[in-house]
Amino acid sequence: MNSTIRNIEIFELGSKGKESSSPWSSTILLVRLTSADGQIGYGEAPTTFMTMSVRESMNEVARTFSGKDFFNVEENLNGFYRDSFYLPKSMQHTAALSAFEIASWDLIGKELGTPVYRLLGGEMNRKMRAYANGWYSDCITPADFVAKAKKVVKMGFTAMKFDPFGDAFDGITGEQLARSEAIVAEMRNQLGDSVDLLIECHGRFSLHAAEMVAKAMEKYNVFFIEEPLHPEMEHSLRVLRKKSGIPIALGERLLNKADFARVISQNLVDIIQPDVTNSLGILEGKKIAAIADSFGVPVAFHNAFGPIQTAATLNIDTGIRNFLIQESFEAFWPDWKAKLLSEGYTLERGYFKLKGKPGLGIKVNEKVLESSKVDGMEPYDPSEPPWVVSNTFSMKKKDK
C-alpha cells in the first residue's frame, strides 16, 4: 500500500442561472485526491459568495498536501495551520482545508475497505431524522408557505426550516414582524403539532430586533431559532437567551473546535450547527460534537451545499450520541446536483441512512462531473442577497 497523494484535481460545478433552493450554492467546489495506488477520494468546499477565493485557497492547500501521506490527517492539517498565518479567521482557508480533509478520509476508508464512521467509533444512529430546507422558494404569503409545506409533509418530513422575515434586516418594523408572525402562525395552525418548525434568521438582526422576533415566536412551539443575531454579536446571545425560551441554534460561521468551545462553555447557545465543509472537516466535526456532548448540547450539523458534504456529515452523525437532527436540501436540488452521485446515502420518508460502503460511501457520476463544470463567480441578483431562498426577500411576487 502506498498512501502518498499523487494527484490533486479541483472542480467547480454548477449550472446556468441561480439555484432556487439555495442560491448560495449555485456553484460547488470539489477536490479529487488520487493516491499513488490509484485510489480516489472526494471532498467538498462551500462557495457562499466566495467561489473564486475558496477555489484559490484550495490551490494553496494543494501545494501543501501534494506528496503527503493521506493517513496523517492531523499532521497534514497542523502543517497548514503552521504555514497559514490567518487560518483561524479565514473561512476561505478553512473551507479549502476542509475539502482536503474530507477527501483524505474518503481515501482512508477506501484503502482500508471500511466506512469512515467505523473508523470514528462505529454506529450509534442507524437512521438520522432530517429536516427539509430549500422548499419554500417563491413563498411570500402565509398561504404560499402552507401550500408548499403540505407537500413537504407528504414526502415524509416531520420537520422543516424556513425564513419568514422577508426584507427585514438589522431592525424589524411592526409591519414586517406582523407579516412574519402570520406566516409562522398559519404554518402551526395548518400543520399541527406533529411537524417541528425551525425558524431561520440568517444572522440578520440586532439585539433589539431579535428580542422582538423571539417574543413573537415563543407561542408557536418553535423547535429552534437559528442565528437570530448578527454573527459578530455573539456576546449578546446570553442576553437574548435570558429573555426568550426558544432554543437558539448557530454554528455554520464558526471555523474550528475552539470557536465552538468558546460559545458552548459561555452558555451562549442551546444547539450547535457545525459545518464540516468550513470547520476543518470530519475529525474536527467529531471533536466539536464531543465538546458539545460534555456540556449536554445537541448537534444539528449545517448542510446546505452538495451531496459530498451530506455524505461526510452523515458519517459523523452515525456515531455521535448527541445527534439531534440533520438539515437536508436533497428533495429540492437542481437535476445536476441530485445526479452527481451514482451511489451514496438514502433519504426516505424524512430519514437519512448510509449504506455501509467504504470511505464516505459514495460513487461520483463522472458524466455529471464533466457536464456540470463551470468557471467563474456564482450568479448575483442585486434585488436579494444570495443567502435567502429564491424570491422570498422582496415580499413581492416576481414574474417568471
Give the chain's mean pLDDT. Answer: 96
Q: Give the separation between CA 112 and CA 115, rounded to whole angstroms.
A: 9
Which residues have a Cβ under 8 Å from the Cβ of 205 and sit 6 or more positions away? Answer: 168, 170, 171, 172, 213, 228, 229, 230
Enumerate the H helices of 127-217 as residue ranges. 142-154, 174-191, 207-217
Q: For residue range 267-325, what is the model confidence (pLDDT) as tens digits? A: 999 999 999 999 999 999 999 999 999 999 999 999 999 999 999 999 999 999 999 99
Query: Kind of pairing, strands 326-328 and 271-272?
Result: unpaired
Q: Quick one: pLDDT band at residue 172, thresholds 50, 70, 90? A: very high
- Please report where in the chains the cell 451530506 appears, as a residue: 310
Question: Residue 344 class from Cβ within 10 Å (0-12 exposed, 13-18 middle, 19+ buried)?
Answer: buried
Residue-level length of the chain: 400
Q: Give the separation between CA 393 and CA 23, rounded to whole angstroms.
A: 12
Q: For residue range 32-60, what is the model confidence (pLDDT) as tens digits? A: 999 999 999 999 999 999 999 999 999 99
* Closest among 230, 233, 231, 271 to 249, alpha carbons compared: 271
Q: Give the separation between CA 131 and CA 355, rounded to whole angstroms.
A: 20
| CATH 3.20.20.120 residue ranges for the chain | 118-363
From the candidate CATH numbers 3.40.640.10, 3.20.20.120, 3.30.70.380, 3.30.420.40, the one assigned to the domain spanning 118-363: 3.20.20.120
- By annotation, the residues acting in catalysis are 202, 302
Could you say which architecture CATH assigns to the domain 5-114? 2-Layer Sandwich (3.30)
pTM surpassing 0.95?
A: yes
Does position 398 have pLDDT exceeding 70, yes or no?
Answer: no
Alpha-carbon torsion, ordered 24, 377, 314, 113, to 10 deg: 170
Q: State whether residue 252 is helix, strand or coil.
A: coil
Q: For residue range 131-165, what is the model confidence (pLDDT) as tens digits? A: 999 999 999 999 999 999 999 999 999 999 999 99
Q: What is the pLDDT of residue 191?
A: 98
190 HSE (CA, 13 A, CB side): 17
